[in-house]
Amino acid sequence: MRNPKIVFVGAGSVVFTQGLLADLLRYPELSSLHLSLHDIDPERLQVAEAVAHRIAAARGAKPRITATLDRRAALDGADFVINMIQVGGHDSTVTDFEIPARYGLRQTIADTIGVGGVFRALRTFPVLDALAADMAVACPDALLMNYTNPMAMNVWYLSGRVRNVVGLCHSVYWTMRGLSDLVGVPYEEVVYQAAGVNHQAWVLRFEREGENLYDRLDARIDADAELRRRVRVEMYRRLGHYPTETSEHSAEYVPWLLRHAGEIDRLRIPVGEYLRVSEENVREYKRTRDAVRHGAELEIAGTDEYAPQIIHSMVTGTPRVVYGNVVNDGLISNLPDGSVVEVPCAVDATGVRPTRVGALPPQCAALNRAYVNVNELTVRAAEEGRPEHVRHAVMVDPNASATLSLDDIWRMCDDLTVAHGDLLPESLRVTPAS
């Protein structure tokens, strides 16, 4: 595959686009690729195109760069498609926090499960339908790499609509980087394996030259009272395996924490954290836009994301292992087949091949199954046009079910349905009787 065509869908996520491009164009073998940028926002697309030219020049690369508001045209003949859309943008994120907060429901990130994750998925599914339809015509054999959250729900939904899809997230990589630093061992010397579901996978193996590095981690935690005031450390101490997502994320996937003010204080849980992140993302975009307009220097830094590594491996045949979110076909034996799981994947010129992990520790699988239940009901709601399943998904969510009454769950979903309006699938815009 020479000079592959790579399409960025949602290229107006300029900061993320910038990091991916810096990674892609560091590879000499990819210096002449065709980069096709697509977004529905003309200004953001223009900024992304300018940033792409800046990064190419800085890397000494000469890619072909095109930009278009026409998604079908952008996809024509693509080899790889990277999806990073956020339907509804910052305003919808604010809605996902403010309405639940009126009912007393606390959230931290609200992009994976929970009511925020459910409604983010429902806003995204109609756009995924359109993307899949365009790919079926324009590039049916392309590999679709999804970065858009909620990762597991989106990949589950896409899996019945496109031929080749994998969901990519940096949580395993950065968790292992952080754990390596914590135990004082260079990351390059660590051997590890993780598996589970996105944002709630588990470190199953953590070693160096036969030494179990969990022993070092235990000693580090025992010696540091402040370290014990973190959600993921608390989960590790109770469950025996370290979770692969931040404490901010992890807090809202379980029923024991956010309903208790004392636990929020003890474990330093930042309620509403993603609102602050989202506001900073908007500010960072504006800084980048203004830098482009005024010819100011841009920082060009790689991010070690998986998509550029996958593309390089498939183009050059270089073997790698990455972590991917894929349909469970016996990969994790004690999670439901057909759900989406996060496992190690081998990559080379033949593509992305998931690894069979076997059974997770039963306590870890039990928590993952609660997560999968929310995913399944949300996907079913959209596929079957059943708005009651939206409410069912929130009813079985660990955080919402531990905090709210059934009446409040239904009323909250009704309010969110009205607030998000025509961003939702048409069949789900009604409010069923409770």
* Residues involved in catalysis: 170
How is 157-188 classified by DSSP, letter by letter? HHHTT-SSEEEE-SHHHHHHHHHHHHHT--GG
Give the HSE-up count for residue 368: Cα atoms under 13 Å, Cβ half-sphere: 30
Cα 385 to the chain's mean position, in Å?
25
* Whole-number Å distance between alpha carbons of 180 and 195: 18
* Whole-number Å distance between alpha carbons of 111 and 120: 7
User: What angle in degrees, to the nearest 10, is found between the helix axes of 231-239 and 362-384?
Assistant: 120
Residue 319: what are its φ and ψ, rounded to 5°? -75, 140
* Whole-number Å distance between alpha carbons of 116 and 297: 37
Q: Which residue type sits at 245?
A: E
**What is the DSSP-derived secondary structure letter of residue 32?**
T
Other CB atoms within 10 A of residue 57 CB: 12
For 191, the enclosing helix (H) or strand (E) is strand 191-197
Q: Which residue from 200, 221, 150 is spatially nearest to 378, judged by alpha carbons?
A: 150
Residue 247: partners with Cβ closer than 8 Å, 6 or more residues away: 230, 231, 232, 233, 267, 268, 269
* Whole-number Å distance between alpha carbons of 399 and 316: 45
Other CB atoms within 10 A of residue 264 CB: 17
Other CB atoms within 10 A of residue 141 CB: 9
* Whole-number Å distance between alpha carbons of 361 and 248: 23
Tokens 């060009």 locate to 300
Total number of residues shown for the chain = 434
